Amino acid sequence: MNIKKLLGKRLQEIRKARKLTQEQVAEFVNLETVSISNIESGKYFPTAENLDKILRVLNIKPSEIFFFESFAPQDELIKEMLDAMQKDEKLTRMMYKFYCTVKYTQ
């Protein structure tokens, strides 16, 4: 997936979590609703100025917008971790220690 699609998907995820519509974001940023839709669908990348405005309306830091890992489904995350641990015994032991540390804190 390319950076425009990842960014758009992340913006949409955060906007929906904030219970904002595309119309509300567009109004604050002074863009057309279709422009917000095009950004969220990955067709267009926002200008730096518009991205800054979007981040402000969503009340997030710039670093948060590029945290794309949250999109992977659970089964993909598990597979990736298992594959990595099967290749590296040191990683397996480290992950087990981490697991033992957190398993009783939930």
Per residue in 18-45, pLDDT tens? 999 999 999 999 999 999 999 999 999 9
Range of the domain at 80: 72-102
Cβ-contact 71, 78 below 8 angstroms: no
16 and 57 co-located in one domain: yes
24 and 40 co-located in one domain: yes
28 and 13 co-located in one domain: yes
- With a pLDDT cut of 70, the percent of the chain lying above it is 92
Q: Is the pTM of this model over 0.85?
A: no
62 and 76 co-located in one domain: no
3-state helix, strand, coil split of the chain in percent (to 5) is 75, 0, 25
Query: Average of pLDDT values for 35-61?
Result: 95
Number of structural domains in the chain? 2
Q: How far apart are CA 46 and CA 43, in angstroms?
A: 10
Residue 25 sits at the vertex; the CA angle it makes with 19 and 30, to the nearest 5 degrees, is: 165
Give the CATH number, domain containing residue 16.
Answer: 1.10.260.40
C-alpha 86 chain-centroid distance:
27
